[in-house]
């Protein structure tokens, strides 16, 4: 059970954690969008304001230039025709020019051309009161007036250009600021995403390791309780219940196998002993037909005893992983196993070809004998009557290869992928009175794996079925023990 502290701080449910993760990851992005909108709004406002001012100021500068030309034209016309109405128009243009110049002075407060224009306006305003002769002499004042007006127009354009340049620099500043904010806030969103991903994935991986540990059948110290959403914590507690339930079922299975094997072997021993006594003629002389029946009973009893021993081997291999490595002559071990099957091979009429020794290798005698025994039993059970059984061996610097091949019906392709599964029986029918248990090849494969080797079905040029055993050269005893210990530690860590 999780502690009170972990329960207090974990999210109440997986849905709440996902929603919280979504909101927290989107928050920096929302801030970024808001700031980008504010910056764009500010730039848009400045651009609009500057555009309006630029149009207005440019129009005013052009109007001042036009008024200056009209004032000069009206003055020169008056000097020629001396018509008073022309002076009235001149005064109106002068007043309009003075008003627009005052507005332009706000744009160019310190411009010397504007100050000079103000002085020129004062001189030009005196013209309407002068005698005609003096008026004509003062017409030359319009030359500097036009010059200063043109200079003011250029200064206005320059001021507008400077303002546009300031807006451009401001836009670049805002752009750089947005880039930095984007990098910072997107990084914050990425970090938050990684954080919440870890909060979600970590308990899921803990559960995955629990499931793999339960599936591998490893028994180790109690794993760390899952800390996370309530649904995953509840699933972890259910896995605890499942693991304990599987342990109970495994114990019941082992107990059942032990009891069943014992209960079957006891009456079977009596049956075989009785058939042996009858065969020896203890109860009287037997007819040929009676002897045939007793031989059938004895052969069937031998097959049944072999099936029981396979069950015991399977049970033992599932719980006993110890090896006793010693230097052995592989040919001697194989021939000892063949001797056990001498009668069965003779009855089946199979020709046996076995390699000769000595061929010394470091092996576990028990595991190797079981491995070869199951393969020979399989060849007898499924091989062709009057066929061949061939056992070959070869060695190199790093591995020993043993091949057990027999004639008969080939194994179908659809059975090959599940050939070494426990209790799986393929489509090829077993020859004999008893049906097989489906664990012989599984026990053989386990014996090969126990010695860090392998068992595989391979193609053979002559014989229909060929099993290849590959056993690597074992390390020295000290290194081997250290490897087994390290492998056990790795398995324990994986299960946690």
| Single residue among 320, 339, 371 that ends a domain in this structure | 320
From the list 307, 370, 306, the residue with the least C-alpha distance to 333 is 370
Tokens of 129: 């009161």
Strand partners, 467: 404, 457
The token pair that represents 222 in the structure block: 């109690």
Residue 474 CB contacts under 8 Å (≥ 6 apart), including other chains: 325, 362, 363, 451, 452, 480
Per-residue confidence (pLDDT) for residue 127, from 0 to 100? 82
Phi/psi of residue 469, nearest 5 degrees: -100, 130
Q: Which of 67-81, 160-174, 182-196, 312-326 has the lowest mean pLDDT?
A: 312-326
The answer, yes or no, to whether residue 229 has pLDDT greater than 80, is no
If asked whether residues 160 and 263 sit together in one domain, one would say: no
What number is the average pLDDT over the span 458-470? 90
> What's the CA gap between 216 and 321, in Å, rounded?
14
Identify the residue whose tokens are 């097989």: 436
Q: Is the pLDDT of residue 220 over 60?
A: no
DSSP SS3 for 273: helix
Query: Which of 155, 178, 198 is where one domain is finished?
Result: 198
148 assigned to some structural domain: yes
Does the pLDDT value for residue 216 go beyond 90? no
Are 325 and 464 contained in the same domain? yes
Establish if 478 belongs to a structural domain: yes
How far is 117 from 128, CA to CA, in rounded Å? 18
For residue 364, the cross-strand partners are 325
| 391 φ, ψ (degrees, to nearest 5) | -120, 120
User: Are residues 257 and 190 part of one domain?
Assistant: no
Q: Residues 288, 425: one domain?
A: no
**Is 286 within the bounds of a domain?**
yes
Looking at the domain assignment, is residue 177 inside a domain?
yes
Residue 134 exposed, middle or buried by CB count within 10 Å (0-12, 13-18, 19+) = exposed
Are 449 and 435 within one domain?
A: yes
Regarding whether 312 and 347 lie in a shared domain, the answer is no
| Domain, as residue range, for 148 | 14-198
Q: Are residues 302 and 387 in the same domain?
A: no
Residue 249's CATH number? 1.10.287
Task: For residue 364, count CB atoms less than 10 angstroms from its CB and return exposed for 0-12, middle for 13-18, buried for 19 or more.
Answer: buried
Please, is 237 exposed, middle or buried when counting C-beta atoms within 10 Å of its C-beta (0-12, 13-18, 19+)?
middle
Instruction: Tell me whether residue 204 is in a domain.
Output: no
| 4 located within any domain | no
* Long-range pairs of 316-319 with CB within 8 A, sequence gap ≥ 24: 317/443, 317/446, 317/447, 317/450, 318/217, 318/446, 319/254
> Which of 269, 294, 320 is where one domain is finished?
320
Domain count, the chain: 3
C-alpha 426/C-alpha 436 separation (Å) is 10
Q: Tokens representing 74?
A: 């009206």
Helices (H) and strands (E) in the chain, counts: 14, 7
pLDDT top residue among 135 and 264: 135
| Cα distance between residue 343 and residue 306, in whole Å | 14
Most confident of 76-80, 169-173, 184-188, 359-363: 359-363
Residues 25 and 132 in one domain: yes
φ, ψ for residue 34 (rounded to 5)?
-65, -45
Among 317, 316, 218, 191, smallest CA distance to 261 is for 316
Residues 184 and 272 both lie in one domain: no
- Supply the Cα-derived Rg of the chain in whole angstroms: 53
| Partners of residue 106 on adjacent β-strands | none
Rounded distance between C-alpha atoms, residue 186 and residue 176, angstroms: 15
* pLDDT reported for residue 430: 54
Same domain, 108 and 62: yes
Distances (CA, A) of 141 to 86, 124, 220, 444: 18, 7, 110, 123
Domain holding 461: CATH number? 3.30.565.10
Instruction: State the average pLDDT over residues 87-96.
Output: 86
Cα 77 to Cα 70: distance, rounded to the nearest angstrom: 10
Strand 388-395 with 351-354, pairing: parallel
SS3 389: strand
Q: In what order do the strands lie in the sheet with 388-395?
A: 351-354, 388-395, 399-406, 465-472, 454-458
Task: Please indicate, yes or no, whether residues 406 and 257 belong to a single structural domain of this protein.
Answer: no
Sign of the Cα torsion 144, 149, 154, 155 reads positive
Is residue 7, in this structure, part of any structural domain at all? no
Q: What pLDDT does 491 receive?
A: 41
Checking if the pLDDT of 186 tops 80, the result is yes
The Cα 425–Cα 61 span in angstroms is 104
* 269-324 pLDDT tens trace: 777 777 777 777 777 777 777 777 877 787 777 767 766 766 666 665 555 556 78
Pair 29, 181: CB distance under 8 Å: no
The verdict on 364 and 308 lying in the same domain is: no
SS3 content of the chain, % helix, strand, coil (to 5): 70, 10, 20
The label of the residue with tokens 């008073």 reads 84
**pTM of the entire predicted model:** 0.43
Q: Across residues 178-197, what is the average pLDDT?
A: 84
Q: What is the mean pLDDT of residues 200-206?
A: 80
Is residue 76 in some structural domain? yes
Cα gap 36→31, rounded to integer Å: 8
DSSP-assigned beta bridge partners for residue 360: 329
HSE of 17 in the Cβ direction (CA atoms, 13 Å)? 21
Taking only the tens place, the pLDDT of each residue in 336-356 is 988 888 888 888 889 999 998
Q: What CA–CA distance (Å, rounded) separates 233 from 456?
A: 43
């Amino acid at each position: 059970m999780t502690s009170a502290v972990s329960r207090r701080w974990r999210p109440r449910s997986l849905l709440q954690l996902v929603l919280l993760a979504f909101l927290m990851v989107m928050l920096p992005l929302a801030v970024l969008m808001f700031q980008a909108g504010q910056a764009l709004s500010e730039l848009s406002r400045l651009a609009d304001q500057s555009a309006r001012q630029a149009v207005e100021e440019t129009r005013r500068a052009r109007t001042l230039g036009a008024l200056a030309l009209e004032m000069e034209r009206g003055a020169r016309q008056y000097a020629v025709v001396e018509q008073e109405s022309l002076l009235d128009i001149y005064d109106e243009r002068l007043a309009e020019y003075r008003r627009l110049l005052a507005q332009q002075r706000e744009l160019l407060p310190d411009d010397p051309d504007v100050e000079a224009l103000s002085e020129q306006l004062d001189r030009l305003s005196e013209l309407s009161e002068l005698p005609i002769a003096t008026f004509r002499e003062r017409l030359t004042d319009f030359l500097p007036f036009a010059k200063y007006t043109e200079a003011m127009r250029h200064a206005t354009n320059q001021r507008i250009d400077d303002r546009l340049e300031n807006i451009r620099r401001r836009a670049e500043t805002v752009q750089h600021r947005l880039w930095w904010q984007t990098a910072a806030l997107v990084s914050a969103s990425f970090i938050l995403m990684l954080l919440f991903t870890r909060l979600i994935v970590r308990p899921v991986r803990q559960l995955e390791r629990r499931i793999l540990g339960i599936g591998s059948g490893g028994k180790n110290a109690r794993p760390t309780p899952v800390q996370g959403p309530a649904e995953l914590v509840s699933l972890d507690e259910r896995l605890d219940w499942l693991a304990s339930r599987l342990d109970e079922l495994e114990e019941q299975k082992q107990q059942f196998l032990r009891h069943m094997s014992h209960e079957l072997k006891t009456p079977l021993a009596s049956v075989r002993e009785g058939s042996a006594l009858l065969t020896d003629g203890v109860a009287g002389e037997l007819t040929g037909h009676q002897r045939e029946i007793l031989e059938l009973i004895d052969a069937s009893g031998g097959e049944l005893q072999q099936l029981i021993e396979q069950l015991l081997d399977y049970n033992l291999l599932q719980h006993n992983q110890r090896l006793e490595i010693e230097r052995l002559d592989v040919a001697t071990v194989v021939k000892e196993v063949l001797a056990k099957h001498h009668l069965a091979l003779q009855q089946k009429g199979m020709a046996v070809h076995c390699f000769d020794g000595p061929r010394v290798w470091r092996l576990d005698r028990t595991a190797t004998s079981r491995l070869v025994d199951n393969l020979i039993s399989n060849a007898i059970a499924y091989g062709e009557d009057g066929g061949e059984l061939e056992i070959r061996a070869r060695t190199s610097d790093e591995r020993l290869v043993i091949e057990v091949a027999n004639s008969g019906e080939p194994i179908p392709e659809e059975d090959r992928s599940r050939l070494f599964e426990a209790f799986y029986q393929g489509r090829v029918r077993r020859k004999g009175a008893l049906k097989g248990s489906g664990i012989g090849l599984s026990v053989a494969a386990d014996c090969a794996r126990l010695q860090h080797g392998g068992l595989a079905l391979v193609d053979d040029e002559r014989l229909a079925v060929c099993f290849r055993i590959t056993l690597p050269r074992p390390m020295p005893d000290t290194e081997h023990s250290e490897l087994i210990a390290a492998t056990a530690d790795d398995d324990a860590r994986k299960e946690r």
